[in-house]
Structure 1
């Protein structure tokens, strides 16, 4: 199945990175570092901006890209990613697959160590994975393990942990039994939810992941400081088996979410990398060699809570979606060349028939008159003389605020609907939306690898990430069938069908397919820009 996927990153040396250097397709181009290499007396440190406090730097509990950015640097799974974003063996040195494609046997590296110097064992992986599946853990990403025999039943309290196909045969042999062959299993295992945790550390301290001084990890870096709501510091892990590949001695993640502030911090040299630029500087900075645009395999959207009025009515939901001019939003608000979205799955997933999105097409279009008609029909069906008051929520970030204000204005102008706005800090916002305490709320969903199944998974009826209250049995059964279908053409046909079901009910309104904007100091080279994660700094070097 690898042949269906686009390369998952663009690796650029920032000394030669120009705004259009990688093109618009996420094509995995490479440029090398300078011939002489960095001077040995240069301090290998970097300061980047992560925008906000990571809600959970715990592989089992993290559901957001901010937490994931830190986790990807301090942990490593059985598979990791190479500079082009392709899955390669990480903590495992070898893997064998049974003839029927359902049983994977991993041999762990003898030099895989925890940051305290102790050995990473197969038992640590077994403990970590079963911890994710344990219903008491409450992992929102446990459903990614449902490909494994017995995992779904155990996670849902309908089966026993002993029946789960996860087993440490001995200290260095780890066995996984799947329900059916899965061509993208290696890519799946690069997700942070599959990282190991040290059993002793977790069992001795339930708050082990809350502070730097109690943290034990196995990645290229280790966390050495966490000043909550201020910064997270990671430093080179000298016990990492490939430590010679790691050039950075220290990386500081600052937590500044005011766009004008972190932009000025970059300009004054206090930050070496920032993302999500203020929209009013993008036009000016596009000619700056420090400016970058990188494709990002995800969808910016507004969720509708189908259990709260007025979004209990499908026609009202569709009316809102059809009343928003997406091209105007990306041209005038985001200004980074994003693609207007009229479906859930972004561009970038290759199939035998070409790009999945291009083959599937758009499911609706902007049409103010049709939107007004649908709104009137929906209100009549519900017996409403006036539309119930709507509040649109977003997490605190300048770009989100400007987008919400523009959508608010369009809904007023095109539907004569007056929408209130509300915002919350990221961690609080995730909890609020998880509890369903919203009517309409901003969300972004990034594929953990480039395949439509991971985008559509968001709206499964039993997915803890689906905060809309929408459940559709036909959608769920179609997705389940697609996951075990071995014929590539039939599989994608099923995924198109599932997306059609989703877009017919429309429990959300897609806005655009992401593109990340960065300012990156030209002092650094060999940063990997993956299309489904934030920049990876394992190979980063400061050259001047």
Structure 2
């Protein structure tokens, strides 16, 4: 094992994940002419690593699509530089005495990028579009806090009974099933962004082409060359345009780490988030380098409906057979920490950090893993383990981790994994259809709370691609969402995680940490704990 580790070409682990995610002063020209600070172009070029599968608020589930959406749209709430929720398209909100009804008043100057008014009706339409079963939104469950939302989405209720109502053009009323202390944070998720009703209804493909795209955020999409780049430019119809210094942001799509690292070094890219490991030690001493916590979990899902992962002991055997410490210290190298549960570090509770309170649910033990594998095979009547293929999305870092896991499982279990990879969009569709045995996945919390991590494995969550359904787990999560006693709420979430980690429909690998190289000529880029960097306030100074 040591010899193999030393000979392995090592790469930092980052890459596309799902989320369960950003000279010149302000442009003071009504015509949108570019303003420069001296002769400094206010433009930044960053690497997005993969093609965004869906730049549509109702359909996006991944961090890459979310990165673009977070720049070109804005919800009732948005985030400040520190990532805290603040009012966005809404200028005021009132809450009923029982905490279940919110009345939002929209800003008078909330405009679409075509200059038309953003209305409460656009929000009502957008949210009900997410819930419409025909839309097929994988994030519709995030709206289940709203009265009648779950029933409508599951075909058991009517759209008119959903508790979202545009009282008039400026007033939106939202009725919840129960008070929700993190409702403001929830509303910063792109799933709650508005869409222009007349546009969406007139063009089914409005979100696939920059020429037909209309949004309401600090930037607007002006170009989308599929598999090449996405370009967004300053939106002069945005009410807070004076804080936006950049005229243009280009998201390049380059998934080879060595390639985009060289592009950064030659000045073709201003920001990247994955480094080849052979340069990481050197780069850590440079002013370009920064390391940021990232509230998410890197894991391998098991399809519990496909052999051999129909057996819980086999699943646990695989989870116990890899050396996470060796992976984080010798393969990923980005400051990640080994994961022995679903919820990462960073979620504070009255008793302390949720992860530290809950502790680890298993430990690595090759001897015990072999024993469990043998027991599982005997239970199924297998004299030989069915062939296993590990699927991952195409990226150099995922390949290196998969190769390391392949070697560890071979050495510790005597099981020879096959490896297979697919482009991100194809990969998402493949896993959605359940056409895999074991597959890589990452899940980033939309805000820092254990419930958003545990929601991933709800039985009716479209993001749960494992086929695993546990009614007790679902029931406990549901109770936690209406529990008003904070201590009891976290106690319920610990109970749910214990059930999840007992059945183990997945094997956690590590808790994320993101590493960036950023051109030091740029200031005021906001690095969020659960989203990619935000460029709303960024400025090139030299």
Same fold by TM-score greater than 0.5: yes
* Residues in 1 aligned to 2:226 and 2:409: alpha-carbon distance in whole angstroms: 38
* Residues in 2 aligned to 1:412 and 1:288: alpha-carbon distance in whole angstroms: 38
RMSD: 0.9
3-state SS of 1:529 partner: coil
| Residue in structure 2 matched with residue 159 of structure 1 by the alignment | 157
| Residue in structure 2 matched with residue 278 of structure 1 by the alignment | 276
| Residue in structure 1 matched with residue 419 of structure 2 by the alignment | 421
3-state SS of 1:224 partner: strand
| Residue in structure 1 matched with residue 226 of structure 2 by the alignment | 228
Of 497, 500, 504 in structure 1, the residue corresponding to residue 498 of structure 2 is 500
3-state SS of 1:530 partner: coil
Q: Does the Cα contact within 8 Å between 1:104 and 1:177 map onto a contact in 2?
A: yes
Q: Does the Cα contact within 8 Å between 1:101 and 1:181 map onto a contact in 2?
A: yes
| Residue in structure 2 matched with residue 210 of structure 1 by the alignment | 208
3-state SS of 2:191 partner: helix
* Residues in 2 aligned to 1:233 and 1:427: alpha-carbon distance in whole angstroms: 19
| Residue in structure 2 matched with residue 451 of structure 1 by the alignment | 449
* Residues in 1 aligned to 2:330 and 2:278: alpha-carbon distance in whole angstroms: 9
| Residue in structure 1 matched with residue 315 of structure 2 by the alignment | 317
1:476 counterpart = 2:477: no
* Residues in 1 aligned to 2:283 and 2:114: alpha-carbon distance in whole angstroms: 44
| Residue in structure 1 matched with residue 396 of structure 2 by the alignment | 398
3-state SS of 1:96 partner: strand
How far off is 1:279 after superposition? 2.3
Of 193, 196, 205 in structure 1, the residue corresponding to residue 194 of structure 2 is 196
3-state SS of 2:122 partner: helix
Q: Does the Cα contact within 8 Å between 1:279 and 1:399 map onto a contact in 2?
A: no
How far off is 1:40 after superposition? 4.1
How far off is 1:283 after superposition? 1.6
Mark the runs of 5 or more structure 2 residues left unpaired by the alignment: 1-24, 26-35
* Residues in 1 aligned to 2:435 and 2:361: alpha-carbon distance in whole angstroms: 28
How far off is 1:212 after superposition? 0.1
1:186-234 CA-partner distances (Å, limit 9, x unpaired): 0000000000000010011000000000000000000000011000000
1:349 counterpart = 2:347: yes
| Residue in structure 2 matched with residue 410 of structure 1 by the alignment | 408
3-state SS of 1:93 partner: strand
* Residues in 2 aligned to 1:197 and 1:350: alpha-carbon distance in whole angstroms: 34
Matched residue pairs, number? 508
Of 233, 253, 266 in structure 2, the residue corresponding to residue 255 of structure 1 is 253
* Residues in 1 aligned to 2:174 and 2:274: alpha-carbon distance in whole angstroms: 39
How far off is 1:281 after superposition? 1.8
Of 536, 539, 542 in structure 1, the residue corresponding to residue 537 of structure 2 is 539
Q: Does the Cα contact within 8 Å between 1:345 and 1:455 map onto a contact in 2?
A: yes
* Residues in 2 aligned to 1:129 and 1:282: alpha-carbon distance in whole angstroms: 43
State TM-score, norm by structure 1: 0.93
| Residue in structure 1 matched with residue 22 of structure 2 by the alignment | none
* Residues in 2 aligned to 1:227 and 1:433: alpha-carbon distance in whole angstroms: 25
How far off is 1:364 after superposition? 0.2
How far off is 1:41 after superposition? 3.4
Q: Does the Cα contact within 8 Å between 1:436 and 1:467 map onto a contact in 2?
A: yes
Q: Does the Cα contact within 8 Å between 1:278 and 1:398 map onto a contact in 2?
A: no
1:320-359 CA-partner distances (Å, limit 9, x unpaired): 0000000000001110110100000000000000000000
1:484-532 CA-partner distances (Å, limit 9, x unpaired): 0000000000000000000000000000000011110001000000000
3-state SS of 1:176 partner: strand
